[in-house]
C-alpha cells in the first residue's frame, strides 16, 4: 500500500518536471529585467501650474541588464535597455496638475566608470518617447534620470570591451552610492524644464519570481495533502 502511494508521489513529481523546464526556458529567453520604484521631490520648475516646486513624484522603471555596451571606453551606451518608465506626481503631495505618462519606445541607459574629479561614476536613463503631456504648453522633449558619484567609488566598473549592463553595474543600483540624484523633464527647444532630486530607490521583485513562489507553495500544499491522505 505504502509502496504504491510513494510510487504515485514520484509519478506526480515527475509530471511536474516538463512544466518546470518550460518555465525555466521562458525565464532564460526573457533576459534579466530589473524593476525599480523611485520617489523624489521637485526643486525647480519653469511650469509651476504643471509641476510646482516641492511636488513629490514617483518613477517606476525597468531595464534589461543583458544589453551589451556599445562604447569601447569607460563610458557605457546601452541602446534600448530602458524597457519601461512611468512618471507620476504623487496626489496629496503635489499642487501641479501634470498627468504624468509612460515610455512607449525603449530608451537608452548610459553609464560612466569615472576616472577623476571631473568625471563622476554615473547611471543615466533617458525617456524620449511616451504618453507625456506638454509642459507649460510646449511639447514634452525628454525625461532624464541621472545618478552621479563624483568620488568614483560606486560599484560601476567598465574596463572596456562589450560587457553587459549587469556586469557594468555589478548588482542593482544603490541610491546611497550617489551624492547627486537628479530627475529632469524638458520641454522642446529649450522652452524650460522641471528638475528634482531622487530621494528613494528600491528594487521591485519581478512578477515571475512571485509566480515561482506561488508554484513552490502549491507544490508543498499538494505534497502535504498526499501525505495526510496516506494516514
Applying CB under 5 A, which residues contact Ca ion? Answer: 69, 71, 76, 113, 121, 152, 156, 158
User: Least CB distance from residue 124 to Ca ion, whole Å?
Assistant: 13
User: Least CB distance from residue 176 to Ca ion, whole Å?
Assistant: 15
In angstroms, the CA 65 to CA 197 distance is 24
When the beta carbons of 156 and 169 are compared against Ca ion, the nearer one is 156
User: Least CB distance from residue 111 to Ca ion, whole Å?
Assistant: 8
Rg value, the chain, Cα: 23
When the beta carbons of 65 and 121 are compared against Ca ion, the nearer one is 121
User: Least CB distance from residue 125 to Ca ion, whole Å?
Assistant: 16
Q: Which helix (H) or strand (E) holds 13?
A: helix 2-29
CA angle 222–228–229, rounded 5-degree value = 90
Residue nearest to Ca ion (CB): 71
Contacting residues for 210 by C-beta, under 8 A, at least 6 apart: none
C-alpha distances in angstroms, 179 versus 53, 86, 124, 198, 220? 21, 24, 14, 10, 46
User: Least CB distance from residue 178 to Ca ion, whole Å?
Assistant: 11
When the beta carbons of 64 and 69 are compared against Ca ion, the nearer one is 69
When the beta carbons of 121 and 186 are compared against Ca ion, the nearer one is 121
User: Least CB distance from residue 192 to Ca ion, whole Å?
Assistant: 33
When the beta carbons of 127 and 168 are compared against Ca ion, the nearer one is 168
- What is the DSSP secondary-structure string of 44-99? EES-TTTS-TT-EEEEEEEEETTPBP--SSSEEEEEEEEEEEEEEE-TTS------
When the beta carbons of 69 and 128 are compared against Ca ion, the nearer one is 69
Nearest-10 Cα torsion for 180, 74, 70, 196: 10
φ, ψ of residue 230 to 5 degrees: the values are -75, -25
Amino acid at each position: 500500500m505504502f509502496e504504491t502511494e510513494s510510487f504515485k508521489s514520484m509519478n506526480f513529481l515527475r509530471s511536474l518536471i516538463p512544466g518546470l523546464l518550460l518555465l525555466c526556458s521562458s525565464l532564460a529567453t526573457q533576459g534579466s529585467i530589473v524593476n525599480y520604484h523611485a520617489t523624489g521631490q521637485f526643486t525647480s520648475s519653469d511650469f509651476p501650474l504643471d509641476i510646482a516646486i516641492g511636488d513629490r513624484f514617483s518613477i517606476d522603471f525597468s531595464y534589461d541588464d543583458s544589453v551589451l555596451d556599445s562604447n569601447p571606453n569607460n563610458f557605457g551606451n546601452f541602446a534600448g535597455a530602458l524597457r519601461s518608465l512611468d512618471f507620476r506626481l504623487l496626489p496629496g503631495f503635489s499642487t501641479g496638475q501634470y498627468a504624468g505618462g509612460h515610455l512607449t519606445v525603449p530608451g537608452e541607459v548610459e553609464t560612466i566608470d569615472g576616472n577623476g574629479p571631473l568625471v563622476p561614476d554615473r547611471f543615466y536613463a533617458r525617456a524620449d518617447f511616451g504618453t507625456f503631456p506638454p509642459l507649460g504648453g510646449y511639447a514634452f522633449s525628454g525625461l532624464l534620470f541621472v545618478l552621479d558619484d563624483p568620488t568614483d567609488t560606486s560599484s560601476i566598473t567598465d574596463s572596456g570591451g562589450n560587457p553587459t549592463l549587469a556586469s557594468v553595474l555589478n548588482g542593482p543600483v544603490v541610491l546611497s552610492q550617489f551624492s547627486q540624484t537628479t530627475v529632469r523633464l524638458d520641454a522642446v527647444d529649450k522652452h524650460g524644464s522641471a528638475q528634482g532630486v531622487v530621494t528613494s530607490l528600491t528594487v521591485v521583485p519581478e512578477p515571475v519570481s512571485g509566480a515561482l513562489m506561488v508554484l513552490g507553495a502549491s507544490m508543498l500544499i499538494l505534497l502535504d495533502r498526499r501525505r495526510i491522505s496516506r494516514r
